[in-house]
Structure 1
Amino acid sequence: MGEVLDGAAVRRWSRLAAEALGRTRGEIDALNVFPVPDGDTGTNLHLTLLSAADAVDELPEGAGTAETWRALTQGALVGARGNSGVILSQFLRGLAEIVGRPETAGDGLAFAEALGYASVLARNAVERPVEGTILSVLEEAAVACSDAAASGPAIDADSPGPGLAGVARAAAAGARQALRRTTGQLEVLARSGVVDAGAAGLCVVLDALTAVLTEEYPERYEVPARAAGEAPVREQRAEGAGPGYEVMYLLDAPDESVPDLREVLDGLGDSLVVVGGDGLWNVHVHADDAGAAIEAGLAAGRPHRIRVTYLHAAEGEQQPQAPCTGRAVVAVTAAEGLAALFESTGARVVLREPGAVPPLAVLAEAILAAGDEVTVLPNEPEVVALAEAAAERARDTGARIAVVPTRASVQGLAALAVHDPLRRFAEDVIAMTRAAGATRFGHLEVAAEEAFTSVGLCQPGDVLGLIEGDVAVIGTGQAEVARQVLDRMLSGGGELVTLISGTYAPAGLTGELEEHLRVRHPDVEVGVYDGGQVRYPLLIGVE
């Protein structure tokens, strides 16, 4: 028997475990009633381990032990799906940090230590751990493994500790015993007559590990049948009770920003798990306000690979419907005048409240209602991540959705100017993205309080001229500040200037600026519009 978890063994284990979860995921899904009865735990575990196995398979044959474990844990982290998948990624990380070195890869005592460490990592990752779950079973598997390591016979005179296969077998057996006890540990499991779904999946993973180490492969991997032969009782959530969305994303953020992120997300919902390190984190939370959960990630760093799942789907509530057919553009804005501008150029508009993001469900439904090939223009930095989440939800219906990451309305208008519904969808998206990216944007804003800016201290009532989000000019008159902003934006060249006046722009502002441009920049074409935006007296675009 090859009692060593070197690179080759880890490769075999990851692929075998992924295949075993693939064969059993339907049975595991059928057990899923906690934390929400959405019937996807087996699928999430399978996809998580499949991502880990794929990462290992990308390594060249003969890759070393440490390199293989790193690929396994990184693949699991970035591919983790659902609460159980994130916890599984911590289980793999805990093993890797101790037995992922050549000198400990075949050590039964080291494996027992690693399993205990993995249990601690997994429990610490969950904001509010619950007994009777995968956490309890992993902990008891670690105890059984440690007991076997402490009492097991030595392999030979040169190896004072017990064999790796023996302690792995003890861990798998301990997990199976603990799994049966979960029904009595958690009320929702007892009412439904099932064991915990995530824990059942963990047992399959440990069984696959034992099979690799002992070279004794079972014909099938056991998933416990329902208690008393009865079907599980799906927990019915009262209207308005319980979070409505599962929000997951990878987050590029400094480690020191994560405690504050945890605190914010804990106040938004439950089932919070944040794992990772060294600047890359996997974030999972159940929340009613998916947009706020994504905004918390934006405040901490850069969220990406955002996934938002509607948790009420298993209860027969409204689910995303099949999309309408056809090509369309959906634009988000907070102003009636801007909405009319977007509509006049052929876009469908989602109006949001000033200073807020639109509800995720509203944006997703608007995308689905628009067509089956849809380009989304968020037109505000805070809306970009939410638009990605809404697009991901719409893609589940088979629609082709692209988000052009416009950070300002003038970029959205530039993208619409080159939109051609007769082009191939991908080519149209590329053209719109290029047009948006080639458009510099600026705006005027009136300071509400004293603050330090990149160009000095501003006082309440000062006029701020911003270029691409950064304060570039501080002054007292809107026209003078706007002229300085325009001159700076055009210093590198430009062919078209767009001026969009807001509700509180002084009379004659755009006329003064048109005259200034005729004198100072006579070759520039100028377009002037009334946007009706409340916060910004003037929006500026330079193409």
Structure 2
Amino acid sequence: MSRALQPDEELVELDAEAVRTWCARAFDALGREREEIDAINVYPVADGDTGTNLYLTAEAAREAVEAVFAASEPDTAETVRAMAHGALLGARGNSGTILAQLLRGMAAVLAEGRDGDHLARALAEASAAARQAVAHPVEGTVLTVAAAAAAGCAGGGTLLEVAARAHDGARAALEATPGQLAVLGRAGVVDAGGRGLVAVLGALVETVGGRTPDPAGTAPGAVRVLGDVRAVPAAPPACDGEAGPAYEVIYLLEAEDAAVDLLRGRLDALGDSLVVVGGDGLWNVHVHVDDAGAAVEAGVQAGRPHRIRITHFAADAATAKPSERAEQAGPSGPSGDGRGERARRAVVAVVPGEGLAGLCAEAGATTVRSRPGEPPADDDLLEAIRRAHAREVVLLPNDTELRRTAAAAAERARAEGIRVALIPTRAAVQGIAALAVHEPDRRFDEDVVAMTAAAGATRYAELAVAERRSFTSAGVCQAGDVLGLIEGDVAVIGKDLTETARTVLDRMLSAGGELVTLVVADDTPPGLAPDLEGHVRRGYLAVDTTTYHAGAGAPPLLIGVE
């Protein structure tokens, strides 16, 4: 697969095969240096995985490129886009996420041209894109190394001239990083992410010029940038007791640009090391936080998060914070309120109808009834949280209109020393999905993440009967019309409950689905649920259907599609 150049031969253009070769050589180079890069990983967290994360990100890019070659004979534009997209989907950790954005920035320019001048522009665009993706850029990191690579090849030239000057500039900047970032200077190492980027640029020089770059010198006290290693620590050096958030949260997110702008602000307030890369509706989100559930919840509010990965930085209970050790230890004595020991964890769910209240109670949840025209107040939710009598509570409002009320109740409960995670479920079917994956024996954040992901993966709809003539997003409705609301907006206006329900189901399943949940009220015609189950069976062979009875006081029909 790799293109072998003859001595003194160099490429004039970076064609598709050259991009393929570069991906393979970068992957191989990071594989060779992975352990050494892991060993000098002290910033932003000394968790010893930067080399591994870069390696896995490069692997994802390489596999995406190989996939397009297996399917067709791609041109340079298709190949670089595949490389960038693969890295985006497979990005791991802070360093891998930044590498993905660097490749994405390069791809936008290399799709337009393949010569040295375009490569120089691509490296400049890559540096700017990566810096913009990081909430609070820090000098002495891979961002500094990327900027030096771009500056080194400003003015263009041949492919080899540009690649070699970029590599030399990056290498010199890397050796200077211990003097720019105090934690690196104290540990006597260069920046791990920057060293990985130098390896990637070295692979580019080898690809376009047929030679391996000369080994660099050593940074103060520790490791060669390229070539032999000297005095590599056996484990990541300590950061002099510098504390940081407990969790790394990474997920892919399908969302609009405006929603991502709001997401950045919310995640920035929750933690640090925030990097959001991507575009065109697909993003890779990386952040370090103490409240992993809140980070995923923010993603659910922005769009559709998936491939969620949570990493707890503490290796075990011995290295965890005191509050985390208490969490791992389980219940620890009387609560002081005369009611005995608190349970470790509980779920509080707002539900319409007696049947759903019973269903949720059987699953172990404390329920709050929501009646038509009588939504619960924050006092009602706070009382339910207290009634759950647990140290940790997951709150499911199951209604868009209750989001502020639930947030207020959660804040009041936190002031009383109860750890509360609010999952912004917007319908009862999302709450059912979340409750179905609830496991009280898991760590709190892991449980909240699983429940949030299940809720976010559930599209919801509701059937209602119009009380008066009014204007809707689907047109004008008359009193007595059946309204099919999808994700809160009127999408279908009909005269018959069953026909309207079928139309709503078809629209929802046109986007795919594996499980349909039907929730019917007491006053819903008894044949509606069987009719819809048969409709799904006949038209969507791979889709399962589950029916629940909401009892009195619920909408005629609730639909969930997972």
Shorter-normalised TM-score: what interval?
A: 0.5 to 0.7
> CA 1:518 to 1:59, structure 2 compared with 1: closer, same or farther past 3 Å?
closer
Q: Among 14, 22, 25, which residue is 1:16 paired with?
A: 25
Q: Please, what is the CA RMSD of the aligned residues?
A: 5.2
> CA 1:13 to 1:527, structure 2 compared with 1: closer, same or farther past 3 Å?
closer
Deviations 1:287-345 (A, max 9, x none): 22222222222222222222222233388337999xxxxxxxx996626996864675x
Q: Among 147, 152, 171, which residue is 1:144 paired with?
A: 152
Distance 1:78 1:164 in 2: 28
Could you tell me whether the CA contact under 8 Å between 2:64 and 2:82 is conserved in 1? yes
- 1:386 CA displacement: 11
Q: How does 1:496-535 map to 2 (within 5 A)?
A: 513=523
Deviations 1:354-406 (A, max 9, x none): 53699xxx999xxxxxxxxxxxxx96537969999999x99xx9xxx999956
Distance 2:527 2:122 in 1: 73
2:81 — aligned with what?
70
Answering whether residue 91 of structure 2 is matched by residue 83 of structure 1, we say no
Could you tell me whether the CA contact under 8 Å between 1:195 and 1:224 is conserved in 2? no
Answering whether residue 519 of structure 2 is matched by residue 470 of structure 1, we say no
1:420 — aligned with what?
none
2:42 — aligned with what?
33
Structure 2 length normalisation: TM-score?
Answer: 0.61
Distance 2:292 2:301 in 1: 14
- Give the paired residue count: 427
- 1:236 CA displacement: 6.3
2:468 — aligned with what?
none
Distance 2:85 2:530 in 1: 56
Could you tell me whether the CA contact under 8 Å between 1:276 and 1:282 is conserved in 2? yes
Deviations 1:241-267 (A, max 9, x none): 532222222222222333222222211
Aligned with 1:170: secondary structure? helix
Could you tell me whether the CA contact under 8 Å between 1:132 and 1:196 is conserved in 2? yes
1:368 — aligned with what?
none
Distance 1:31 1:383 in 2: 46
Q: Among 189, 210, 213, which residue is 1:215 paired with?
A: 210
Answering whether residue 138 of structure 2 is matched by residue 130 of structure 1, we say yes
> CA 1:173 to 1:106, structure 2 compared with 1: closer, same or farther past 3 Å?
same
- 1:487 CA displacement: 8.1
Answering whether residue 267 of structure 2 is matched by residue 252 of structure 1, we say no
Distance 2:14 2:87 in 1: 18
> CA 1:379 to 1:116, structure 2 compared with 1: closer, same or farther past 3 Å?
same
Answering whether residue 171 of structure 2 is matched by residue 176 of structure 1, we say yes
Deviations 1:66-100 (A, max 9, x none): 11111111111222111111211122122222233
Deviations 1:503-541 (A, max 9, x none): xxxxxxx6xx49xx58999999x986789xxxxx64766
Distance 2:264 2:435 in 1: 19
Q: How does 1:88-103 map to 2 (within 5 A)?
A: 88-101=99-112
Could you tell me whether the CA contact under 8 Å between 2:133 and 2:275 is conserved in 1? yes
Deviations 1:7-30 (A, max 9, x none): 000001101111221222111111
Q: How does 1:260-275 map to 2 (within 5 A)?
A: 260-275=262-277
Aligned with 1:51: secondary structure? helix
Letter of the structure 2 residue corresponding to residue 209 of structure 1: L
Distance 1:201 1:520 in 2: 60
Distance 1:41 1:116 in 2: 23
Could you tell me whether the CA contact under 8 Å between 2:267 and 2:274 is conserved in 1? yes
Structure 1 length normalisation: TM-score?
Answer: 0.63
1:5 — aligned with what?
14
Could you tell me whether the CA contact under 8 Å between 1:442 and 1:469 is conserved in 2? no
Could you tell me whether the CA contact under 8 Å between 1:489 and 1:542 is conserved in 2? no
Q: How does 1:282-431 map to 2 (within 5 A)?
A: 282-313=284-315, 316-317=319-320, 334=349, 341=359, 344=362, 352-355=394-397, 381=430, 405=454
1:45 — aligned with what?
54
> CA 1:453 to 1:93, structure 2 compared with 1: closer, same or farther past 3 Å?
same
Identity, in percent, stands at 44
> CA 1:309 to 1:363, structure 2 compared with 1: closer, same or farther past 3 Å?
farther
> CA 1:270 to 1:348, structure 2 compared with 1: closer, same or farther past 3 Å?
same
Distance 2:21 2:527 in 1: 73
Letter of the structure 2 residue corresponding to residue 254 of structure 1: E
Structure 2 alignment gaps of length 5 or more: 1-8, 216-224, 329-344, 367-392, 398-405, 411-418, 422-426, 466-470, 477-482, 506-516, 533-546
Could you tell me whether the CA contact under 8 Å between 2:124 and 2:151 is conserved in 1? yes
